Amino acid sequence: MLFPDYRPRRLRQSSAFRRMIRETRLSVDDLILPIFAVGGKNVKNPIPSMPGQYQLSIDNIVKLAKTTHDLGIPGIILFGLPDNKDALGTGAYAKNGIVQQAVKAVKNSQPDLAVITDVCLCQYTDHGHCGIVEGNTVDNDASLDLIARTALSHCHAGADMVAPSDMMDGRVSEIRNLLDENNFSRIPIMSYAAKYCSAYYGPFREAADSAPQFGDRRTYQMDPANAIEAIRETTMDIEEGADIIMVKPALAYLDVINRIREEIDLPVAAYNVSGEYAMIKAAEQMGWLDGKKVMLETLTAIKRAGADIILTYFAIETAGILMEK
């Protein structure tokens, strides 16, 4: 089809036509809101590198959960900042840990809101790594039991879904087996299957106080140069029992999202991470771009690449705009 027989502009000339032929539609149903939980009461600590985002005490999380539910956003994902840290990350799987308390409070307040929990040790260990450290090495196999115990403790608190983000080999099967043995076979696992060792996580590490105290996470998070490896990681997690797989970050890895979408028939999630959020907010504050338009364009691109679910700090703002349309 060539000009002048085919004129693509014919179907772009009105808003009605553009709406009729739109291929990708961003919906509030696609969104999950990440939330950072801290101890205390009436706490709302601004996160400087993430304008509009906060570390929240549980009473304020309950208020935010109501707003989230009222906007039609189907779920939240909780990250915890404990009062104390140690080498074994015991706060991660403590019965009365910060995430466990937050889960109970949100489910009591908004039972229809899906509460997902991030399952990792990095926020709870004094060394800041995602597993147990022996010398200067993260011991993969020694970490699995504690990671699985963390997931189980979240389920006992009432979590609707667990999301392991540690990138230890074998952690999905360890979690699945332990949950099944404890009558939580109904709880799905959303695995951070292709989680890259990315510079885009900087603001998150400030928000969650989770920066490693030595070295980095290159020995367990993926090399940003690799895409075929993401298929292997994803396939492994599916075979171990993952129900949803995730790519993180999203914006710089749209090709990976697309390749995985074409390879698998499970739901695909993508995490629009803190650095992606911070760049848009910073440029918006400088007057360099229209923040709302870039936000919607970015999320639409993630959806267009193949993501069924988008974890994003823009969830509240986006849902408000979509409700107006």
Can you tell me the distance from the alpha carbon of 198 to that of 114, in angstroms, rounded to the nearest whole number? 28
The answer to whether 293 is a known catalytic residue is no
Nearest to 247 by CA among 262, 238, 236, 257: 257
Q: Out of 85, 95, 107, 195, which one is annotated catalytic? A: 195
Give the count of beta carbons closer than 10 Å to the beta carbon of residue 33: 25
Cis peptide before 34 (omega within 30 of 0): no
Residue type, 110: Q
Q: Out of 248, 281, 303, 325, which one is annotated catalytic? A: 248
Q: Are 100 and 153 a contacting pair, CB within 8 Å? A: yes
The answer to whether 248 is a known catalytic residue is yes
**Cβ neighbourhood burial of 227 (10 Å; 0-12, 13-18, 19+):** middle
Cis peptide before 188 (omega within 30 of 0): no
Active centre residues (catalytic): 195, 248
